[in-house]
Amino acid sequence: MSDVLVLRAIQGNAKTLNLNSKKLKRVPKAVGKLTSLSILQLQNNSIATLPCEVESLNNLTELNIGNNVLEEVPVVLKHLKSLRKLHLFGNRIEKIPCSVFDGLRNLVLLNLNNNNIWEIPPDIQWLINLEQLSLNNNKLKNLPLELCFLEKLSELQLSNNNLTTLPPEFCLLANLTKLRVSRNCLNELPEGIHKLRKLRVIDVAGNQLKMFPATFNELLLDELYCEDNPFLQKKLVPSIQDEEILSLKEITARYILKELRVRLSEVRVAITRYPEVRIMLSEASMCALCGKGFLNIWLECVKFVNIRKEMKITSKINTIPVRALLCSYKCFNQQGHDYYGVAVP
């Protein structure tokens, strides 16, 4: 029956071909003669591989091979340079060959949900036009740094994996609007996530988060899902320490950071001659209370943010803990602020 459908498509110079649910174990090689084909549907079959003749489909823009028995992403796909949408969900894929992404630079949607993928190759950076990436229900433990180079990525779905961290460079995804990483093993979110000014939806439910990163409440979110995390609770613990001994490096760094804020300071000119110092100071933080800069984390605190009032969004959880750093116990012991020290159990 499938051969008949392909023959008819060849005779009619078809632009689309639907071979869904035809009990196929192989794709007819004659498909390669459909050089005008734009959309090919192969969903719900028992296909384990694709024939090399598929590389002739130069005009193919959408390919659906969902719910089959593929064990790896077919390398032949790298020849489909016009492909924009690729669905590979519901297979048995464990491996993604590195070379396959190099030819898919026009891809805007990649769906790899419900597979057994444990690693994404660094070559994913070649998907320079990718806007939607779905890898729900896989076995990922980490993400490559190169994923953060996908400048056009707007939707990233990674729920139901084994992720423990997200790359620190995550803030490079400037066009990201939706992030779904529920039911993983995340202990924290990247500190720079507040820089994603287009981010509107975050789903981090069912992880191991104790607090959100600093200035998280500055995000302009429409939706936040964060239930089933072991968040810190508000418990008053007084501090009995009011002084600290700073290292010479810390004292020097704080002085330089202070001088850099003075417009006519000679330090601003002199530091241009010391690139290693600039690199070191680039890792500095700012005190959430007094606003002064400091190099090392001196006192980790938390602020409990009412997301209904401060972020103007509705969630099952009304208050979330947001990380804050203070430069000294002197600041922490001031009266009237709403920062809580993170007590070690």
pLDDT tens-digit profile, the chain (345 residues): 566 666 675 667 778 999 999 999 999 888 888 889 999 999 999 999 999 999 999 999 999 999 999 999 999 999 999 999 999 999 999 989 988 998 999 999 999 999 999 999 999 999 999 999 999 999 999 999 999 999 999 999 999 999 999 999 999 999 999 999 999 999 999 988 999 999 999 999 999 999 999 889 999 999 999 999 999 886 655 555 556 678 888 888 888 888 888 877 888 888 888 888 888 888 788 888 888 888 886 778 888 999 888 888 877 788 999 998 888 888 888 888 888 887 655
Domain with CATH 3.80.10.10 in the chain: 2-225
Q: Which amino acid is it at 70?
A: L
pLDDT at position 255 is 84
2-225 CATH fold? 3.80.10
- For residues 138 and 115, the answer to whether their CB atoms sit within 8 Å is yes
Question: CA 184: distance to chain centroid?
Answer: 13
pLDDT of residue 37: 93
Residues 6+ apart with CB under 8 A from 332: 239, 289, 299, 301, 326, 339, 341
DSSP-derived 3-state class of residue 256: helix
Residue 131's Cβ-count burial label (10 Å; 0-12, 13-18, 19+) is middle
Residue type, 317: I
Total number of residues shown for the chain: 345
Whole-angstrom Cα Rg for the chain = 26
